[in-house]
Amino acid sequence: MVYHLEDTIIDTLNCLEENIFIIDLDYKVAWMNDSAKGFIESLKTYFRLDKAEDLIGTPIARFHQNPSYQEEMLQKGDFPIDMQLVLFNKFIARLVVKELIVKEEKLGFILTWRDITEREKEKEKTKAIINELSTPILPTIAENTLLVPLIGELTLERMENLTTKLLNECLNYHAEYVIIDFSGITTVEDPDLGQEIQKLTTTVELMGAEVLYCGFKQDMVKNMVTLGIDTNQKTFVSFRNAIRYVVSKLGKPS
């Protein structure tokens, strides 16, 4: 493949810091620039290579769980192709493929490979922090009573995470009442949320705590009815009303 490319093209590709590979018309790695060689050299153990240059001639199907998938995408010709792959259950790669056409002759494909493993890890950490901040569990002025103020979009993933976290906090605080405040929720779109909310409620009540709802907005109630979300829990307009109910049950003046 290299002899098809002009020296100026090769020199230009070698000057770039991106990992660039050329794939021939048989869908095999035909060439890579200096940056790509250094990158593959750092991963040669995973590829079972003695040196980076041994990657030349390797079918690109080797890098995908479905060997025919990449070839099918290249045959369709819908360029540029932008894909994300997980390699060796360890690295996350973003691949962008375009046709390589020189002097109106198609020589193959040019592929750029970016290792985005660390970036994706940071995204997951950020997501975890956001989930933690958006589902706080707080003690209240009432003894053995927890407040769960939900904020933002209500999703199945958040409800599942909340269930695990709330069970632990119920044990730590010996909770008798749990008030779930929906006033900060902006979106409810998944019809399965009703079942997840009820599952959370049932699980907490099996631990001996009574679950109260408060803060449903009018628009949210309409949306929940439209989605078929049905809950039979004791509900209050506001947290203030809910906490007054708890205090009265605990035998303290409001």
Could you read off the pLDDT of 32-56 as tens digits, one per residue? Answer: 999 999 999 988 988 889 999 999 9
Which of 94, 81, 103 lies closest to 9 in space, CA to CA?
103
pLDDT in tens, 242-254: 999 999 998 755 4
pTM: 0.52
Across all residues in the chain, what is the average pLDDT? 84
Please write down the long-range contacts of 59-63, taking CB distance under 8 Å and 24 or more positions apart: 59/26, 59/27, 59/28, 59/29, 60/23, 60/27, 60/28, 60/29, 60/111, 61/27, 63/87
Q: What is the CA radius of gyration of the chain?
A: 28
Residue 14, C-beta contacts closer than 8 angstroms, at least 6 positions apart: 33, 34, 35
Mean pLDDT, rounded, for 171-182: 94
Mean pLDDT comparison of 104-118, 123-137, 165-179, 211-225, highest-scoring range = 165-179
Which of 167, 156, 60, 171 lies closest to 110 in space, CA to CA?
60
Distance CA 5, CA 20 (A): 14
Which DSSP helix (H) or strand (E) runs through 153? strand 145-154
Q: How many residues does the chain have?
A: 254
Q: Which residues of 81-92 are buried (b: 16+ CB within 10 A; e: fewer)?
A: beeeeeeeeeeb
Which of 139, 143, 167, 146 lies closest to 249 in space, CA to CA?
143
